[in-house]
Amino acid sequence: LSDIEFLEDSTTESLLFSGDEYNQDFDSLNMEDFQEEDEDGTQEIVRCICEMDEENGFMIQCEECMCWQHSVCMGLLEDSIPDQYICYICRDPPGQRWSAKYLHDKDWLNKGQMYGLSFLSENYSEQNCKTSVSTHQLLADVFSVNNVLHGLQLKMDILQ
């Protein structure tokens, strides 16, 4: 039997739970073989429009997704790097609705600074940016705990 005929005749469960050669080969694989890590234990991702995943030359990192791009491919030189760089994917994510593109200001959520009025001498946002960031982080943590509790509740309902 060829591999295709063998797979058509068997079920997924029999392949997974049997002791055949396919299952043994899968068990012998080690996930560490697929993970290439740097010396400090972190894995850097290079996502550039040139589709090369090598780190070479001057690189720039996106503030949101923390992916690296070649500055030459992005048209940026070392002296023309912006204070905050956001990559082409984070600026215009694929599949995002145009009505949701500017739904919230990510800079305000991360740094707590909102745009102020030009005629005011004091900017209220600058005075309370730490409070805004702390509040946002607290609400994000509460939301995460709420999601975990909801998942646990569903699991408990299934077990009962």
Instruction: Evaluate whether 111 touches 132 at the Cβ level (below 8 Å).
Output: no
Query: Residue 107: pLDDT band by 50, 70, 90 thresholds?
Result: low
Alpha carbons 109 and 94: distance in angstroms, whole number:
22
Instruction: Domain ranges for the chain, please list them.
Output: 1-31, 38-103, 104-160
Mean pLDDT of all residues in 18-27: 45
Structure tokens at 91: 């600026």
| Per-residue model confidence (pLDDT) at position 114 | 64
Alpha carbons 124 and 155: distance in angstroms, whole number: 45
For 140, phi and psi rounded to 5 degrees? -65, -40
* pLDDT computed for residue 155 by the predictor: 96
Q: Of the candidates 99, 103, 97, 50, which has an alpha carbon nearest to the alpha carbon of residue 73?
A: 50
The predicted structure's pLDDT at residue 26: 45
Match 């082409």 to its residue by tokens.
88
What are the helix (H) ranges across the chain? Answer: 3-9, 12-17, 21-28, 88-91, 106-111, 124-127, 129-159
Which single residue is written with the structure tokens 């509040």?
A: 135
Q: What CATH architecture does domain 38-103 belong to?
A: 2-Layer Sandwich (3.30)
Give the pLDDT score at 153: 96
pTM to 2 decimal places? 0.45
Better-predicted residue by pLDDT, 62 or 107:
62
Give the pLDDT confidence of 24-38 residue by residue, as tens digits.
444 444 444 444 444
What would the mean pLDDT of 38-56 be, rounded to a whole number?
75
